[in-house]
Structures are given as structure tokens and as C-alpha cells.
Amino acid sequence: MKLSTIALAAALLACTGAQADDITANVNLAGDAWPNLTGAFGITHYEGGTFQDTITFSPTYGEWLVDASLITIGFNADTDIDFTYAAINGHAMSLSPTGVYEFAYMLQEPIPGPLILTVYGTVDTASWAASASYAGTINISPVPEPATYGMLIGGLGILAFLARRRS
């Protein structure tokens, strides 16, 4: 009876896929020109298999125009990370084809905060000693309010009126 239990446990372990370490990180955004903020981060995986990383950015209250990028460079097939999905608050990033050099990016996407980046991927399981990593950056600026556009249009209208009156 004991041998069959051990055999069953071994069979279940063999059927499950490899799971890399899932990483959760917090990144504080900073900048010289408030309210435009930026942040950089790096994630290293020491185990092969699939992963889901979660990176939370702060401070991020309000709605923001978000630029973000991820990049990974594996020096060989044993240190490779393949991105399968990356999104900030459900807004998907564009992914490059898989390979030794990969990237993901997002350009000027309006997203309400708090901002949470979720990255899904796979670390090459052929690696026996090497680690695999990726890095990213995020830049945010506030979304202009409708009143700002109204003032811009009004100012241009006044300039057009004055130019027409002069001629």
C-alpha cells in the first residue's frame, strides 16, 4: 500500500509543469518635473518554467498617460525568457516575437491608477546554473482635463479673431 502511494505521488509530480518563482515588487516613481514621473526595475528568475510577476507602481492616484517598456536579452538559449503576456491594469503591451532578444512596449495609453504591471512568461528550463532576467521602465504624466482643451481652443479662437480683425 505504501509503495502505491509513493508511485501515485511521483506520477502526479511528473504530470505537473515546471513553475518558476513568481515575483511581486513595488516601484516608487520619481521625477524632477512633477507630475511627470518615471521608474525603472529589474527582475531575475533563478528557476525554470512559467511565471507571473506583479509590479506595483506608486504614487499613481488619478488618470495617467503611460509609456512603458520591458526588455530581455539572453546570451544563449539557457538564459532566455519568453514573454507570453504583459499588461498594465489590463491594457496589453505589444510584444516582439520570442527569441533570445525580446521586448514589450506601450505608448501613451491613458490608464487610471493605481498602476499594476503583470508579466507572464517562461524561463528556459534547460538552464542548470544560469539565471534569466528582464528590465523595464515606466513613464507617466497626468491626462489633461477637458477644461485644458477648452482653454486651448478658446485661446486659438481669440488669436484667429485678432488676426482677422488686423487684416
Q: Identify the structural domains of the chain with CATH numbers, from first to last.
A: 19-144 (2.60.120)
CA 165 and chain centroid, separation: 52
Q: What is the mean pLDDT of the chain?
A: 81
* Pairing label, strands 49-58, 24-28: parallel
Per-residue pLDDT reduced to its tens digit, 101-158: 899 999 999 999 889 999 999 887 665 556 788 999 999 998 876 666 677 788 888 8
Between CA 139 and CA 145 the distance in angstroms is 19
Q: What is the mean pLDDT of residues 42-56?
A: 90
Q: Give me the torsion for CA of 118, 107, 141, 22, rounded to 10°.
A: 10
Cβ-Cβ contacts under 8 Å for 130 (sequence gap 6 or more)? 78, 79
pLDDT > 70 in the chain, percent: 79
User: pTM for this structure?
Assistant: 0.73
